[in-house]
Chains A and B, each alone.
Chain A
Amino acid sequence: MKYWEENRECMSREDLEQLQLERLQSTIYRVATHVPFYRNRFKEIGLDPDGFRSLGELSSLPFTVKDDLRNNYPYGLFAVPLRDVVRIHSSSGTTGMATVVGYTRNDIKNWSNLVARILTAAGVTKDDVIQIAFGYGLFTGGFGLHYGAERLGASVIPISSGNTKRQIQIMQDFKTTALVCTPSYALMIADTMLDMGININGLSLKWGLFGAEPWSEAMRAEINNKLNITATDNYGLSEVMGPGVAGECLECKGLHINEDHFLVEIINPNTLNPVEPGEVGELVVTTLTKEAFPVIRYRTRDLTRLIPEPCSCGRTNYRMTRILGRTDDMLIIKGVNVFPTQIENVLFEIEGTEPHYRIVVERENHQDKATVLIEVVESIFFDEMKKQRQLVDKIKKKLASELGVSMDVKLVEEKTLERFEGKGQRVIDKRQL
């Protein structure tokens, strides 16, 4: 099967824009009626929610940023009463930093459908056996792909992440044909198989759908080569829905955006104006069909570029390039979103003073490894080793529980880390993608 919903994926631009306008008008009406946050914002800038007449007026609407979501924790931005919500997800982070999103029954249906589109575009059919090695739970990745694959009719193995040897065992025994995980985990699986002396050609694996972290064409080539599959990129974020926002077709030249459900813009993150067509900028997304958690002009902080040229696969939806970077200092470590300020807060809590620290991120054997270097008073180095170790363990434990991902901790002497004036570069990312 080439398309999941041909009448939507291959629409003429004119029909698509009519549909987008209708959906946007009713979305604006609904958020203005049901969400105080949007109602007040529209009032502040004197925007009449009934006055919106063309997609070109989109830039008159205010942006929504992650802090708006945090400030309305947990349910402040929901557009339906909780009794209409059938699912709740949350982004990684501590209680204070987390963002919460909800889904109605229709939202789940649409979400499943959009993921089924992306799976279909990436070559997966109902005859495939799909191993979902994304974490299940509050993270949208596991459940998002799971429901989409079920909707498609594929045989789903909800193995979740981790335990690589077991992943490989099941891949062999269950004759998995499609693998879903982060690209770095795919490489880890490949290398573990090599170590175990497993012949890749003996596997049934054909397709790989990878996302949740940035990767590169070089990594794609390596994955394709090592696992003997066709690897595609897909994109989504929980604030907007989760996976299913955009995904590559088998041409592997950019990710088709599900534009009938998401209105996208590319802006200059400094001026906040739209970039020239085809230029790189920050992706901004407005949901067009979400019932429980609609968002207006959400700044994703992800950098990409739109590709309006038609794709030879026949889909008419615009494509975007793979994510080229971030406009903030967010790090993605093993698929988990981490902000340096989170680490700073943990250190502050333990040390009681403004910490001097550095975060070093590397990739060893295709796995992310993060180390926090912390300056401590010299006296601690004269103390017993036990005390030092206790401090390190305490910080490690606290970091792991707050961030949802483990990090190494190294204590260094005072004034050994370079000082910055103003906002310093506290992150040293050595990963070569």
Chain B
Amino acid sequence: MLKIRNLEAGYGKLRVLKRISMHVDPGEIVTIIGANGAGKTTLLHTITGLVKINSGEILFRNNDLNRLKPEKIVASGCSLVPEGRQVFSTMTVEENLILGGYILTKKEKGGLKHEIGKVYELFPVLKERARQLAGTLSGGEQQMLAMGRALMAKPSLIMMDEPSTGLAPLIVKSIFKVVLQLREEGNTVLLVEQNAKAALGIADRGYVLETGKIILQGVAEDLLQNRDVQRAYLGREMD
């Protein structure tokens, strides 16, 4: 579904991503783990067209995403749930969802309501809060709203940037449960996380990003067993 080969990108002269190669197959949860400043968010922003590619290629369903505008990339089926939720806090929950479906309104009339219904099914709490201003929601609810908003564009690939940030462990658990549910419904998820243990716990495969380089990759279960990962990311000092 997503294939990245030798991607290099950054800000001005600053080279953040160094020769990244990775892929996501349909129906997979793939996670990118790494410390603060490793380049995880830059990677997602490069895929979504917010950061320009210096070299290499990003193929999404065999289309080259290079030089496509972000809105075209969303329209092609690739949605981002940004870090820190970024919900429109002065708008209601439902208005946020309607905005997320801005591509739909043009194409399919009536489809909007159906999609909102599906989001409410996934997150019943959002239905309860439909008329409430997004800014008044708790952190966990805002995260659900941000995910719901991304789903409104009917993406074939959902990219999530640090959904666990600032959330209580119990809430993180329920958010990750929804990610699993999304996969069961046939969605494909690219999950960027600092919480390596939780992310590898639900992912099929993972990549370890360190100072802009992928230094390890593999089946999530294997990465959890990998001593380097355990030492650096799971806070487990061996012996």
List A residues at the B interface (Cβ < 8 Å).
15, 18-19, 21-23, 25-26, 29-30, 33, 50-51, 53-54, 80, 83-84, 104-106, 109-110, 289, 291
Chain A residues with Cβ under 8 A from B226's Cβ? 104, 106, 291
Please provide the chain B residues from 189 to 239 with a CB less than 8 Å away from any CB of chain A in the complex. Answer: 213-218, 222, 225-227, 238-239
Q: How far is the CB of B148 from chain A (nearest CB, A)?
A: 31
Q: How far is the CB of A112 from chain B (nearest CB, A)?
A: 13
Query: Beyond the given A21-B5, A106-B225, A289-B218, could you list 15 further A-B residue pairs with CB under 8 A, ordered by the A residue number?
Result: A18-B23, A19-B23, A22-B21, A22-B23, A26-B215, A26-B216, A30-B215, A33-B215, A50-B19, A51-B19, A53-B5, A54-B6, A84-B227, A104-B226, A109-B225
Q: Which of B21, B214, B222, B239 contacts A109 (CB 8 A)?
A: B222
Contact (Cβ within 8 A) B214 A22: yes
Contact (Cβ within 8 A) A80 B214: no
Whether a CB of chain A sits under 8 angstroms from the CB of B61 is no
C-alpha gap A80/B228 in the complex (Å)? 9
Chain B residues with Cβ under 8 A from A21's Cβ? 5, 21
Whether a CB of chain A sits under 8 angstroms from the CB of B183 is no
Contact (Cβ within 8 A) A29 B239: no
Chain B residues with Cβ under 8 A from A18's Cβ? 3, 5, 21, 23
Chain B residues with Cβ under 8 A from A33's Cβ? 215
List B residues at the A interface (Cβ < 8 Å).
3, 5-6, 18-19, 21-23, 25, 213-218, 222, 225-227, 238-239
Chain B residues with Cβ under 8 A from A80's Cβ? 227
Q: How far is the CB of A258 from chain B (nearest CB, A)?
A: 15
Chain A residues with Cβ under 8 A from B216's Cβ? 26, 30
Chain B residues with Cβ under 8 A from A106's Cβ? 218, 222, 225-226
Contact (Cβ within 8 A) B19 A22: no
Contact (Cβ within 8 A) B22 A22: yes
Contact (Cβ within 8 A) B239 A26: no
Chain A residues with Cβ under 8 A from B239's Cβ? 83
Chain B residues with Cβ under 8 A from A29's Cβ? 213, 215
Interface CB pairs A-B, < 8 A, 15? A19-B23, A21-B21, A22-B23, A22-B214, A22-B217, A26-B214, A26-B216, A29-B213, A29-B215, A50-B213, A51-B19, A80-B227, A83-B238, A106-B218, A289-B218
What residue of chain A has the Cβ atom nearest to residue B215's Cβ?
A29
C-alpha gap A110/B222 in the complex (Å)? 9
Q: How far is the CB of A43 from chain B (nearest CB, A)?
A: 18
C-alpha gap A80/B225 in the complex (Å)? 13
Chain A residues with Cβ under 8 A from B25's Cβ? 15
